């Protein structure tokens, strides 16, 4: 077979700030998936894109090429469907209560999720702390659970956008992850190929987000909304704050426990607020703008769906969750009002305690993590507990404490604490 293009010419075009043609993009993505374009050549192209960017038509065609590299599903045959994607944060367990909450209104929610890598936690890791629960489902199993239960949280199959899977692994080792055209096309190629009727994006900004800069996070949100709209997918994004960990727990089993509290009508106010906000967006996009979301949390409907979801994937919903063998408490050394808790520092501490992984193949300690006893704006006394560290390996406490040394800041005397809004903006 004679290839219609040469990889070097495609790389040179983008290196020199040129615009790639539709045919060039279609070919290079397909050729890379087939192994015709080598890793080092795609690395060079990814870096050229990182440095010189892409136009909106280029990003749209790149995304479409990623979709065309694999299969497409269509969950809309089951009726109204909606999905959510978060760009990743610290203590971000929102998917767990959100899926059953939306499904309680008869909207199917196919939540294809991933595992944690680096400082951000993975939804699948959280769910796997439930004894017996399994993440890998066939397409037929997904459809069956969606039809019978209404919601499913599982791993994306290998057939969806295989070009993205290959390219993401390459970007992770070539310092080209933090690139808006490549992030947007990576996320949206899988979400569009998934075949849901509506998509709500939770794009995070702040210390614990990949996009720490609000302007860049806003640009990413707008780019993804445009990609979804161009593909005929109802898409809306909420720009949300990730300067402080969400809720009071960071770590797999700890976050599952907190999510169940939310489904029982309790839980931390910020987790409830964001869950409700995203649920309203998903339900509105699915044709139910007046759904009483709070009522479904308080009357047990969402909890009923959660229990059926977990059971359908082999989980023992009544089994005790893993508990850490060792804990250590960090206390306040003086009176004061907490001004901030650095989300990134808490995330790194949880990772060092065993809650995260450095490589995809690494195991996680489901019981490990950080528990918060106070949030920004709270007044605390000297000696009052601020954080509890959880781990199955006490040798890990030292390095976790190191990163937490400056994680909590206090307001100056006479300074008025002003809370940053959780939902910063809505982009549609």
Residues noted as catalytic:
85, 164, 171, 186, 190
Give 100-132 as a DSSP string.
Answer: HHHHTTT-BEEEEE---BTTB--HHHHHTTSTT
Q: Report the alpha-carbon distance of residue 255 to residue 356 in Å, rounded.
A: 13
Q: Report the alpha-carbon distance of residue 2 to residue 233 in Å, rounded.
A: 36
In residues, how long is the chain?
A: 428
Q: Which residues contact 283 (CB under 8 A, 6 or more apart)?
A: 82, 102, 105, 107, 289, 291, 293
Helices (H), 113-248: 123-127, 139-148, 162-172, 180-194, 214-230
Q: Report the alpha-carbon distance of residue 20 to residue 221 in Å, rounded.
A: 23
Strand partners for 379: 337
DSSP-derived secondary structure letter, 77:
G
Burial of 394 (0-12, 13-18, 19+ CB in 10 A): middle
Burial of 86 (0-12, 13-18, 19+ CB in 10 A): buried
Q: Report the alpha-carbon distance of residue 386 to residue 375 in Å, rounded.
A: 9
Helices (H), 372-415: 397-404
Quickly count: other Cβ atoms within 10 Å of residue 132's Cβ: 13
Cα dist. 30→55, 65, 163, 183, 187 in Å?
Answer: 20, 7, 8, 18, 18
Can you say how many angstroms the Cα of residue 106 is from the centroid of all Cα atoms in its chain? 24
DSSP-derived secondary structure letter, 179:
-
Per-residue buried b or exposed e for 337-351, using 16+ beta carbons within 10 Å of the residue's own CB: bbebbbbbbbbbbbb
Q: Report the alpha-carbon distance of residue 58 to residue 25 in Å, rounded.
A: 8
Q: Report the alpha-carbon distance of residue 80 to residue 100 in Å, rounded.
A: 15
């Amino acid at each position: 077979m004679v290839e219609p293009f040469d990889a070097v010419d495609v790389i040179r075009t983008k290196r020199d700030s040129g615009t790639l043609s539709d045919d060039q993009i279609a070919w290079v993505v397909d050729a890379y998936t087939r192994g015709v374009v080598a890793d080092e050549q795609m690395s060079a192209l990814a870096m050229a894109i990182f440095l010189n960017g892409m136009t909106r038509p280029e990003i749209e065609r790149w995304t479409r090429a990623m979709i065309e590299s694999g299969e497409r599903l269509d969950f809309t045959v089951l009726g109204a469907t909606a999905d959510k994607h978060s760009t990743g944060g610290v203590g971000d367990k929102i998917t767990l209560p959100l899926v059953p909450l939306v499904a309680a209104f008869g909207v199917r929610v196919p939540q294809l999720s991933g595992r944690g890598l680096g400082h951000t936690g993975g939804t699948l890791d959280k769910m796997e702390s439930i004894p017996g629960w399994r993440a890998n489902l066939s397409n037929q199993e997904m459809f069956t659970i969606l039809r019978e239960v209404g919601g499913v949280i599982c791993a994306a199959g290998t057939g969806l956008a295989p070009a993205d899977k290959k390219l993401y692994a390459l970007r992770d080792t070539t310092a080209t992850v933090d690139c808006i055209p490549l992030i947007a096309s990576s996320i949206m190629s899988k979400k569009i190929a998934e075949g849901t009727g509506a998509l709500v994006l939770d794009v995070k900004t702040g210390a614990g987000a990949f996009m720490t800069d609000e302007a860049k996070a806003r640009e990413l949100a707008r780019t993804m909304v445009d990609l979804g709209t161009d593909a005929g997918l109802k898409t809306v994004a909420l720009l949300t704050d990730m300067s402080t960990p969400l809720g009071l727990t960071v770590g797999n089993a700890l976050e599952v426990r907190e999510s169940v509290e939310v489904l029982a009508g309790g839980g931390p106010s910020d987790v409830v607020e964001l869950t409700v906000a995203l649920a309203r967006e998903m339900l509105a996009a699915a044709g139910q703008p007046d759904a009483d979301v709070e009522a479904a949390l308080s009357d047990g409907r969402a909890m009923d769906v959660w229990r059926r979801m977990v059971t359908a994937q082999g989980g023992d919903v009544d089994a005790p969750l893993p508990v850490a063998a060792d804990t250590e408490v960090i206390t306040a050394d003086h009176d004061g009002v907490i001004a901030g808790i650095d989300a990134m520092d808490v995330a790194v501490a949880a990772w060092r305690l065993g809650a995260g992984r450095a490589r995809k193949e690494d195991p996680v300690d489901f019981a490990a993590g950080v528990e918060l006893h106070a949030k920004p704006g709270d007044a605390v006394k000297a000696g009052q507990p601020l954080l509890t560290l959880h781990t199955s390996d006490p040798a890990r406490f030292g390095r976790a404490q190191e990163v937490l040394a400056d994680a909590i800041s206090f307001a100056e005397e006479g300074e008025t604490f002003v809370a940053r809004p959780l939902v910063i903006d809505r982009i549609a």
